[in-house]
Structure 1
Amino acid sequence: MKFIHAADLHLDSPFLGLTTLPAALLTRVRQSTFTAATKIFDRAIAEHVDFVLLAGDLFDRAEQSVAAQAYLFNQFERLRQAGIPVFVSFGNHDYATDQHQTIAYPDNVQVFGADVTTKTLTLASGETVAVSGFSYPQRWVVTDPLPAFPEHAAADWHVGLLHGAVATGGTHDHYAPFTVAEMLTKRYDYWALGHIHQRQLLHQNPPILYAGNPQGRSSQETGERGAYLVTSHGRQLVPEFFPTADLLWDTATVPLTVTTLADLGTALTEWLTAHPADQSTLTQLTGKLTHPFTPEDQAAWRTTDWLSLYQRTHRSTLATAQRYLTRLTLRLPQATVAAPALDQRYWDQGAAQTFTPATVQTLFGKLAQEPALADWLATEGTPEKLRALATEQLQDLMNQEAPDVP
C-alpha cells in the first residue's frame, strides 16, 4: 500500500508586506502555494499511490477565491483520471461553510463532515483501508474529538485524519485538542495530522505525524517544506518526506562595519556573494552596525526606500545568490541603562502577570479570532516573545542616546 499525506496547503495566502520585492517575484511568491501543491499531486500520479490524504486548511480562509476553488477542482480531476481517491478534511482556516457544499468535487473525492465518520476503501491489491476523520464546522473546535473516533475497524489498515493540536490544558486549546496516549488506544496504523506547520513526528510506531505545510508563508516558517509518501513494509507504514516548496524563507544577522549607505550596499553584495542559497530563498536580514551613519545618510535611510532601490539595481547579484531580501533592519549596539530598583520590580511584577497565554488572548480580544493572528497567539513561546519585544521597547525609551536605527 502507498499513499500521500499532506496538510495546510493554504491556497490563496496573501503574502502581505513584501513591498520591496520586484513585481515578477511578488507574483511568483503569491503563486507559490499553488506551485507547491501541484508538486504533491504530481508526485501522487507519478508514484501511482492508492489514495491521498489532505489534513485540513487546504484554503487560507473560509471564503475562497474562484481561482483557488477551480485550481483544487482541476487537481482532483487529474487524480480522478489517474484512478486515485482523495480524502479531505477542512480545518480552522477553511472550516466547512455553506460554500463548500456548493462545490461538486469529482467523485473520487471523499469530504468529511462535522461529525467523525469512517470511510472504507478497497485497494487494487484487495486490501481494505478505513479512514476516520472530520471537518471543522466553525473557526474553533475546543473539545477533544478523539472519543468520537472508533477503534481499529475490521479492515487491513486504519488511518486517522485529524487537524488539531496536542492539548496543553490551558484556555487556548481551540484546535481539536488531543493527546498521543488517547490516539494509541485506537490502535490505528497511522495518524495523518495537520495544523502545525512544522513537520513533526509525535510517535514512531504507529506513526503519528504532522506533515507541515508544503510552502512556507513567512520568515517564521524557515527550512524545507513538503509532504509525506507513506509506504507499507510488512505490517508497518513508513513515511518518507519529500520537499515541495517553490521558495524557502531564511533569516540572518550580519555584522556591518560600515558608516555610509554606499558602504552598506557593498557589504550587502559581499555577504550575498559569500552566502548563496541552494534554491530561491526569501531572506530577512538584520544588520548589526558598529558605528552610526552620518546625519545625511541617517536621513536618507529614513526617508527613502533604500532596500527597494538595492533590489532593482542588484538583480544579477540577487539572482546568482538565489536570495531576495524581504526586509533589512539596521541596529546599533546599545548600552544597557539600568532601571531604578523600584521601577524594575514593578516591571517584573507587571510582566509576570501580563505575558501569560490567557492574558494575551484576553488583551487581543476579537483580534484573536483573525486566523493568522490566532495561530500566532496559539504558538508556543508567543507570550515570551511579546515580553522580549516589550522589554526591548522599554530599553529604547530609557536609552535615548543610542537610537535603534542609524
Structure 2
Amino acid sequence: MKFIHAADLHLDSPFLGLTNLPNTVLSTVRQATFTAATKVFDRALTDQVDFVLLAGDLFDRAEQSVAAQAYLFHQFERLNQAKIPVIISFGNHDFAADQHQSVAYPDNVTILGAMGTTKTLTLQSGETVAVSGFSYPERWVTQDPVATFPDRSAADWQIGLLHGALATGSDDHYAPFKLSELLAKRYDYWALGHIHHRQLLNEQPPVLYAGNTQGRSVNETGVKGAYLVSSQAGKLVPSFFPTSAVLWENLTVVFDHVTDLKALGLALTTWLEAHVTSQLTLTALTVTLAQPLDAVELAQITSGDWLSLYLRTHQRYLVAANRTLIKLQVSQAATKITAPQIDQQYWERGQAQVFESANERATFGKLLQDTSLAEWFMQPTTTVQLKQQAEQELTKLMGGEDNHAT
C-alpha cells in the first residue's frame, strides 16, 4: 500500500513585493505554486499510488480564482482517470464555509466534513484504509478537534488527516491538539498540515507535517515538497520528495575589502560566479562590511536604488548563477562586547541561559502558530541572528565604547 501526503499548496499565492524581477522570472514565480502542485499529482500517477491525502490550504485565499479552481478540477480528473482517490480536509485559508466552486469535483474526490468524519477505502490489494479528519467550517477553529475523531477502527490501516497546530494555551486559533491525544487514537499515520516547515513529531507511528509544496516568501526557505508513504513490515514509512519550482534563500556574506559601491558591485559579481544554484533561487542578501559606507552611498542601498540598477546591469551574471536578488542590506561587522563594558564571563553565561532552545520557544509562544514565523524560527541561523542583534542593542543601551562598567 502506498499513498501521497501533501499539504498547503496555497494555489494563487500573490508573491507580493517582487517589483524588481525581470518579467520572465516574475512569471515563473507567479506560477510556482501551480508548478509545485503538478509535481505532486505527477508523482501520484507515476507511482500509481492507492490514494492522495491533501491536508488543508489547497488555496491561498477563501476567494479562489477561476484559474485555481479549474486547475484543481483538471488535476483531480487526471487522477480519476487512473482510479486514484483524493481525500481533502480544508484548512484555515480555504475553510469549507467559503467553498463556492463553480463546478463539482470528480467522483474520486472526498471532502471531509466539519466534524471528525471517516472515509473508508478498499484497495485493489483487498486492504482497507480508514481516513479520519475534518475541514474548517470557518477561518478559526479554537476547539481541539481530536475528540471528534473515532478511535482506531477494524480497518487494516487507520490514518488521521489534520490541519492544525500544537496547543499552547487559551488563544489557539488553528485546531489545537496535543501529541499525546493523537498517539492515544492508535492510528498508523497522522498526515498533518498548517506548519510550512516539514516536521516529524513522532517517528512510529509517524506524526508528520509535510510542509508546504512551494515556499512563498523569504521566510519559507529551503526545498519544499511532499511525502510518498508506503507500507513496510506492518508500518507506514514516509519518504520525502521535492516539489519546489523556486527556492528562497536568506544569506549573510562578509566582504572584508569593500569600501564603496563600485567595490561592492565587483565583490557581489564575484560572489555570484562562485555560488551557482541548480534551480532558480530568490536570494535576500545581507552584506557585512569591515568598514562602513559613507552616508550617501548607504542611502542608495537603503532606498533600493542601487540594487535595482545592479539587477538591470548584471542580468547575465544573475542568469548564469540561476539567482535573482530580492533584497540587499548592508551591515557593519557586529561589535563584540568585551570588558570593561561588561564582564565577559557574566555576559557569556547569561547569553547561554537566555538563548537556550526551550526558553526561546517559550518567549515566542503563540507567534509560532504563524506559519512564516515558525519557518523562520526553525532556521539554524535564527539564534545566531538573535544573539547578534541583542549584542548590538545592548551596546546602544550602554552608550557604546564610552560607557564603562564599574
Distance 1:265 1:235, change over 3 A: same
1:6 aligns with 2:6: yes
1:287 aligns with 2:283: no
* Structure 2 residue matching 1:316: 3-state secondary structure: helix
CA contact (8 A) 1:116 1:133 kept: yes
Distance 1:133 1:94, change over 3 A: same
Match of 1:216 in 2: 215
For residues 296 and 386 of structure 1, the distance between their equivalents in structure 2, rounded to whole angstroms, comes to 29
Distance 1:386 1:90, change over 3 A: farther
For 2:208, the aligned partner's letter is: L
For residues 284 and 377 of structure 2, the distance between their equivalents in structure 1, rounded to whole angstroms, comes to 21
For residues 90 and 181 of structure 2, the distance between their equivalents in structure 1, rounded to whole angstroms, comes to 22
* Structure 2 residue matching 1:125: 3-state secondary structure: coil
For residues 303 and 94 of structure 1, the distance between their equivalents in structure 2, rounded to whole angstroms, comes to 37
Deviations 1:56-95 (A, max 9, x none): 0101111111111111111111111111110001011111
For residues 96 and 309 of structure 2, the distance between their equivalents in structure 1, rounded to whole angstroms, comes to 44
Match of 1:367 in 2: none
For residues 147 and 181 of structure 1, the distance between their equivalents in structure 2, rounded to whole angstroms, comes to 12
Give the 5 Å matches for 1:117-128: 117-128=117-128
Deviations 1:14-61 (A, max 9, x none): 111112211211111111010000000000001111100000010111
For 1:206, the aligned partner's letter is: P
For residues 387 and 290 of structure 1, the distance between their equivalents in structure 2, rounded to whole angstroms, comes to 19
For residues 278 and 77 of structure 1, the distance between their equivalents in structure 2, rounded to whole angstroms, comes to 32
Match of 1:31 in 2: 31
For residues 301 and 275 of structure 1, the distance between their equivalents in structure 2, rounded to whole angstroms, comes to 22
For 1:194, the aligned partner's letter is: G
Deviations 1:122-176 (A, max 9, x none): 11111111111100111111111111111111211111100011122x2342111
- In the TM superposition, what is the alpha-carbon distance from 1:204 to its structure 2 partner? 1.4
Match of 1:265 in 2: 265
Distance 1:48 1:330, change over 3 A: same
Q: Which runs of 5+ in 1 are unaligned?
A: 342-351, 362-371, 402-406
Distance 1:141 1:377, change over 3 A: farther
Distance 1:189 1:270, change over 3 A: same
Deviations 1:175-200 (A, max 9, x none): 11112211112111111110111111
What's the TM-score once normalised by structure 1's chain length? Answer: 0.83
Give the 5 Å matches for 1:71-86: 71-86=71-86
Distance 1:387 1:69, change over 3 A: farther
Match of 1:254 in 2: 253
* Structure 2 residue matching 1:107: 3-state secondary structure: coil
Match of 2:148 in 1: 148
Match of 2:99 in 1: 99
- In the TM superposition, what is the alpha-carbon distance from 1:292 to its structure 2 partner? 2.7
Distance 1:195 1:74, change over 3 A: same
CA contact (8 A) 1:226 1:244 kept: yes
Match of 1:89 in 2: 89
Identity of aligned residues (%): 61
Give the 5 Å matches for 1:249-398: 249-256=248-255, 257-294=257-294, 296-298=296-298, 300-301=300-301, 305-333=305-333, 374-376=370-372
For 1:166, the aligned partner's letter is: L
Deviations 1:87-114 (A, max 9, x none): 0010111111243465411110000111
Distance 1:190 1:304, change over 3 A: closer
For residues 204 and 215 of structure 1, the distance between their equivalents in structure 2, rounded to whole angstroms, comes to 24
- In the TM superposition, what is the alpha-carbon distance from 1:237 to its structure 2 partner? 1.0
Aligned length: 376
- In the TM superposition, what is the alpha-carbon distance from 1:379 to its structure 2 partner? 7.2
For residues 380 and 300 of structure 1, the distance between their equivalents in structure 2, rounded to whole angstroms, comes to 28
Deviations 1:183-239 (A, max 9, x none): 112111111110111111111111111111111111221111100011112311111
Give the 5 Å matches for 1:63-74: 63-74=63-74
CA contact (8 A) 2:196 2:372 kept: no
For residues 313 and 387 of structure 1, the distance between their equivalents in structure 2, rounded to whole angstroms, comes to 36
What's the TM-score once normalised by structure 2's chain length? Answer: 0.83
* Structure 2 residue matching 1:97: 3-state secondary structure: helix
Q: Give RMSD over aligned pairs.
A: 3.1
CA contact (8 A) 1:337 1:399 kept: no
- In the TM superposition, what is the alpha-carbon distance from 1:265 to its structure 2 partner? 0.8
- In the TM superposition, what is the alpha-carbon distance from 1:398 to its structure 2 partner? 8.9
For residues 138 and 397 of structure 1, the distance between their equivalents in structure 2, rounded to whole angstroms, comes to 46
Distance 1:277 1:396, change over 3 A: farther
For residues 304 and 182 of structure 1, the distance between their equivalents in structure 2, rounded to whole angstroms, comes to 50
For residues 73 and 34 of structure 2, the distance between their equivalents in structure 1, rounded to whole angstroms, comes to 13
For 1:128, the aligned partner's letter is: T
For 1:42, the aligned partner's letter is: D
For 2:270, the aligned partner's letter is: E
Q: Which runs of 5+ in 2 are unaligned?
A: 343-358, 402-406
